[in-house]
Amino acid sequence: MSMVPWITIVRVVGDVLTLVVFVDILISYFLPPYHSVRRVLDSIVDPLLAPIRRMVPPVGGLDFSPVLLFLAIQVVQRLLIQMIVSLG
């Protein structure tokens, strides 16, 4: 059985999640917190950022948790792809 569809799914999910985090960061500068688009994106991104924010507080007023989330998404994506390849 080919593992290519599973690898594609992992890549697409990781890329979409990365894009959602990036868009959430961008619109946070332009839309108020109560805007419906921002609330939807925050409902997706905030649960992922919460554990990181508990471990890594803001430094000098800057929140680095999205950067760490980007890295975590990439690491998990690569690990899952490696696992899929090793099973095939």
pLDDT tens digit sequence for 48-79:
999 999 999 889 989 999 999 999 999 999 99
Neighbours of 2 (CB within 10 A): 7
- DSSP character for 63? -
- Statement: residue 88 has pLDDT above 80: no
Q: Which pLDDT belongs to residue 1? A: 59
pLDDT tens digit sequence for 31-51:
999 999 999 999 999 999 999
Number of domains in the chain: 1
Residue 58 domain boundaries: 4-87
Q: Which pLDDT belongs to residue 10? A: 96
- DSSP character for 30? T
The position carrying tokens 């409902």 is 43
Euclidean distance between CA atoms 45 and 49, whole angstroms: 6
Q: Helices H, strands E: what count in the chain?
A: 3, 0
Euclidean distance between CA atoms 88 and 82, whole angstroms: 10
